[in-house]
Amino acid sequence: MATAATELKAQARSGVGKGAARALRREGLIPAVIYGDKKPPLPITISYNEAMKRIYAGGFLSHIVTLDVDGEKHRVIPRDYQLDVVKDKALHVDFLRVGKGTKLNVQVHVKFINEEGSPGIKRGGVLNIVHHTLDLTVDADHIPEEIVVDLTGLDVGDSVHMSSIQLPAGATDHSHEDDLTIATIVAPSGLKAEEAEEGTAEAAPAAENGEAKE
Q: Pick the residue with more confidence: 203 or 49?
A: 49
**Average pLDDT rounded to a whole number, residues 30-39:** 93
Examine residue 166 and state whether it is found in any structural domain, yes or no.
yes
| pLDDT of 205 | 56
Q: What is the rounded CA–CA span in Å between residue 155 and residue 175?
A: 26
Q: Which of 80, 98, 116 is the last residue of a domain?
A: 98
Q: What residue type is 144 in one-letter code?
A: P
Which residues form the domain of 140?
Answer: 104-192
What pairing do the DSSP bridges indicate for beta strands 103-113 and 146-150? parallel
Give whichever of 20-24, 102-106, 155-159 has the largest mean pLDDT: 155-159
Specify whether 29 is located in the same domain as 90: yes
Residue 90: strand pairing partners: 83
Examine residue 144 and state whether it is found in any structural domain, yes or no.
yes
Examine residue 110 and state whether it is found in any structural domain, yes or no.
yes
Examine residue 180 and state whether it is found in any structural domain, yes or no.
yes
Q: What residue type is 108 in one-letter code?
A: V
**Average pLDDT rounded to a whole number, residues 152-178:** 93
Examine residue 19 and state whether it is found in any structural domain, yes or no.
yes
Examine residue 139 and state whether it is found in any structural domain, yes or no.
yes
Q: What is the rounded CA–CA span in Å between residue 96 and residue 80?
A: 9
pLDDT(212) > 50 = no
Specify whether 94 is located in the same domain as 44: yes
Domain count of the chain?
A: 2
**DSSP designation for 116:** G
Examine residue 214 and state whether it is found in any structural domain, yes or no.
no
Confidence of residue 127 (pLDDT cuts 50, 70, 90): very high
Contact 135, 147 (CB under 8 A): no
CATH number at residue 112: 2.170.120.20
Specify whether 143 is located in the same domain as 86: no
Q: Which of 98, 122, 149 is the last residue of a domain?
A: 98
Q: What is the rounded CA–CA span in Å between residue 146 and residue 58?
A: 12
Specify the 3-state DSSP secondary structure of 180: coil
